[in-house]
């Protein structure tokens, strides 16, 4: 629980970074002044007192860096710095920026188109009630065990009459029909469907 609370506090500190920096700068300055006054009371000159106080604190900049690392989330700080740098570089090179944006747009558009086709063909459920419960029945023979043969009409009727585990039964047959008339004749696939 403590780690979670500490993580939330660190995230909050990342969001209010400027206010935290100002508070820390004021605290460092007050601490530095306190050490300078102690050194002046012990008989040091003004410059020497300041120098000794800075040595005792370990330097202001390293202390600030250490405070920033412990206060915020370094990953988010680094990410924000990288984003700012990238925006500056893109602003500097408008030609490259245009090419990058067009490339990203084409990539995202192609990805969306491919996904929509894959969804329509493979992932979208069939437009039937309880389509996940549908099954297909094929016939195999001992002579050709690897080939699926279309079920015969008598076998379909027997299945329809005797299958108690099936809610409803339907059969279809696809044949090719030649269409003639004006122009070249063409073959059209025709599907006949029988339902009980």
Q: DSSP of 121-135, one letter per residue?
A: IIISPPSSTTGGG--
User: Do both 176 and 136 map to the same domain?
Assistant: yes
Give the global pTM. Answer: 0.38
Encoding tokens for residue 130? Answer: 């309880």
Residue 107 lies in a domain: yes
Say yes or no: 161 and 100 in one domain.
no
Reply yes or no on whether the pLDDT at 44 is more than 80.
yes
Structural domain total, the chain: 3
Between helix 17-41 and helix 2-15 the angle, nearest 10°, is 90
Mean pLDDT of 98-107: 95
Percent of the chain at pLDDT exceeding 70 = 85
Q: Which domain holds residue 58?
A: 2-82
Paired residues of 139 in beta bridges:
149
Same domain, 100 and 136: no
4-41 per-position pLDDT tens digit: 666 666 666 555 555 566 777 777 778 778 888 888 88
Mean pLDDT, residues 63-88: 78
150 and 190: one domain?
Answer: yes
Q: Could you give the CA distance from residue 117 to residue 86 in angstroms, rounded to a whole number? A: 34
Q: Are residues 184 and 164 in the same domain?
A: yes
Q: Is residue 87 in some structural domain? A: no
Residues with Cβ within 8 Å of residue 81, at least 6 apart in sequence: none
């Amino acid at each position: 629980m403590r780690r979670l609370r500490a993580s939330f506090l660190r995230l909050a500190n990342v969001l209010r970074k400027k206010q935290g920096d100002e508070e820390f700068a004021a605290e460092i300055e007050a601490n530095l002044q306190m050490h300078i006054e102690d050194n002046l009371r012990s008989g040091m000159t003004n410059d020497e007192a300041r120098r000794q106080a800075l040595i005792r604190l370990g330097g202001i900049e390293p202390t600030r860096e250490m405070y920033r690392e412990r206060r915020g989330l370094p990953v988010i700080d680094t990410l924000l710095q990288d984003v700012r740098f990238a925006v500056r570089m893109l602003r500097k090179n408008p030609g490259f920026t245009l090419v990058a944006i067009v490339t990203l747009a084409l990539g995202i558009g192609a990805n969306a188109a491919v996904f929509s086709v894959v969804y329509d063909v493979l992932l979208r459920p069939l437009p039937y009630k309880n389509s996940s419960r549908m099954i297909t029945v094929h016939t195999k023979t001992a002579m050709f065990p690897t080939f699926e043969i279309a079920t015969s009409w008598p076998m379909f009727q027997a299945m329809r009459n005797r299958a108690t585990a099936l809610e409803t039964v339907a059969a279809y047959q696809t044949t090719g029909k030649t269409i003639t008339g004006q122009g070249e004749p063409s073959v059209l696939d025709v599907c006949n469907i029988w339902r009980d």
